[in-house]
Structure 1
Amino acid sequence: MLFTEDFLHYVWKFRLFDRNALQTEDGEEIEIFSTGTHNTDSGPDFHNARLRIGDTVWAGNVEVHLSASDWQKHGHTTDNAYDNTILHVVYRNDLPLVLANGRKVPTLQLQDRVPVELYARYHQMVFGNQAVIPCEASIGGIDGLIMHNWLTRVLVERLEKKSTAVLAALALNRGDWEEVFYQFLAANFGFKTNALPFELLAKSLPQIILAKNKNNPMQIEALIFGQAGFLEGELKDEYPQKLKTEYNYLRKKYNLTPIENHLWKFMRLRPQNFPTVRLAQFAALIVQSNHLFSKILEIKNIEALRDLFTDIKTNSYWDDHYRFDVSSKPSAKNLGAKSIDIILINTLVLFLFSYGKHNQQEYYISRALKLLENLPAEKNNITDDFINLGVKIDNAFESQALLELKNNYCNYKKCLQCGVGNRILKLA
């Protein structure tokens, strides 16, 4: 079986080895007070460990290798960051460790101290031929409290990573939360298929320009469709012709350049999700909503938040059109409940969390998490897989966390860094 250094880190961190009569390779007795803090960045593997070696209590770093000779192979010999190493933990001791200053570092060999059955369980989970996730045979039996606690941590990791993009955009926009929210909201109106052109559209059309034309819905629609590149060619219907006339005037007034129209995708989309329909909905939202982000900070009721997107009314032209100059059967073009929930999850929750993090206000972070708890779970291939494995998914809090778990832990088989994987290894 393949033995890995990550597994040895795991064994040391949780002391999952035979600790009876521990000694260094030179015969000095070892007592472990603390294995230290696991370091996943550059430098020694564990910081601030506390050990008694012989008659001396040491505090410092612990380095872990499969073979003692890996110290030289990994270039630690000339790296001063490793000078404070108080113990070298290895699976095989094939070379005594002496630092450049002549100090001999005590070595603990674990080759005969790691339980064979523990490694067998790890090997099966990480290197087995599972179809969905490494722990698919066991995850359904994990205690609910343990699962919830781990999913909470994973969800916060997900939101923290996503918030870095928000805070970077905030810096570029000189701290203007409304402008950044407008840009991210636009991208999410495009959902996955048309997120990029929607984002480029918003960045090409600052909110301040829309605000100057707020009282004229036709001009708002003209700016949106014009900047999206849909008013460049010959148009037959009266409505798009009027939009084009308005846009040509506004384009010169504000020195605007539209994005490339070929970026928009229609293929394999239901007509209700055509980018032209989404743009009409986005324009209607701009017309009907002032200072949208400020409202979201104030509104606590989930239904009131939904109403911000439920009540938008597109121009009557879209009642019987999905594209310019192509008539269709009459149908409502309002956002569906599922689409609204996706926007709440991907935009509102993210911005409440980011705002709270940026301003060090736990209240908004808690509101973001509470909002996810009150939104229905997403349904997709990943959540379906977890349900089939016996994992209960009650809300968007859990579905979002499971997406993060699958994409950033399970897919990379980071079972030793996963709370669920750790529990399964210990219980098996």
Structure 2
Amino acid sequence: MENNMNASDSLQTNTSKTSVPHTDSFAADVAFMERYIDVIQLSDASTNSKVAISAALQGRVMTSSAFGDNGRSYGWINKALFESEEILEHINVYGGEERFWLGPEGGQYSIYFEKGTEFTLDNWYAPKLIDLEPFDVKSQTENTVVFSKQASLKNYSGFNFEMGIEREVVILSKTAVIDALGIDNLGTQVKAVAYRTTNSITNLSETNWTKDKGLLSIWLLGMYNPSPNTTMFIPYNSGEVSKLGEIVNDEYFGKVPSDRLVVKDHVIYFSGDGKHRSKIGLSPMRAKDVAGSYDSKNGILTILKYNKPEGVTEYVNSMWEIQEEPFSGDVINAYNDGAPSPGEQPLGPFYELESSSPALELKSNETGTHIQLTCHFEGDEDALNPIVKQVFGITIEAIKNAF
């Protein structure tokens, strides 16, 4: 595959105005996207799984399938935005089930607000680097692709980061999935697709990155298709608030209603219906290294697992304010889309599971890395329940009855 796109032509001209019929198959989604962008496909014969990736959109995993071309497409794709061929000013929400982003979003070290501006939506802009600019394809095989990018970003306080980015996407075999999750087996009745991304940033400047100038974090966000039957669930470390802090931060877009967010012993349950804009986060003291979602109607279990360094507590703070504690941010986030206000259209709708690296205090030429595993399993409750029990210590029945 050739990768000669730049920020201005990373989206190909649409030569056909005929809309692709909507289906939820992987092949249909890939065919749709190939009208606008080049798509790299990885595959694994042992699971009959596939992953579709876009170099034009920062090496973004757009979607995946546990059953080849005819399998269900798990990633949410904003087909209306692709078809419009518009380039929007603040952000271009093309979707995709794992995109490479950078933090912090808000605060005095933000890379989404210009210096001196108020922290309002009108002043918020996703950096072009992580919104529209393509990444270069460094190498590619049947089951692996590596992307690279050199870039610079200036934060709200005026410090300029010179960086090299590398992102590797690997589709996993059935044996590798079992090993990565530490489960006994998948069973013959379970369809599976899993991929691991290794994301690295290198400080290419002669200046060390230090907290007094602001730091970056690697931030991975996955957009998935919502449904009234979808519930996100996130295990947490139990303990006293005085020692570990609040269990969950649900103040991002206003307090989450109790019929949409339930905190039980060891697990948080959060609606993924795409009908109420809300977001939650877990601090490094509370977060474990895993999160999940379950669509009970379609029998889809999604598991996200990431490398969480032990004992590290400094994560960038993305709250939209000048912060007293700019390195007291969250590790895991979950988002449910919905109308921003009555009568307005949602961004999607979709729901998201997200993870972040610690704040990257890097010396010159030093590298920081964040690794994430995304797994989708499809099957009936009896087949999926052992996986949920082994990874999360709960049952599918508990997820279904959480609300």
Q: TM-score, normalised by structure 2?
A: 0.22
> Which has the larger strand fraction?
2
With a CA cutoff of 8 Å and minimum separation of 6, indicate the structure with the bigger relative contact order.
2
Relative to its length, the structure with more helix (as a share) is: 1
Give TM-score, length-normalised by structure 1: 0.21
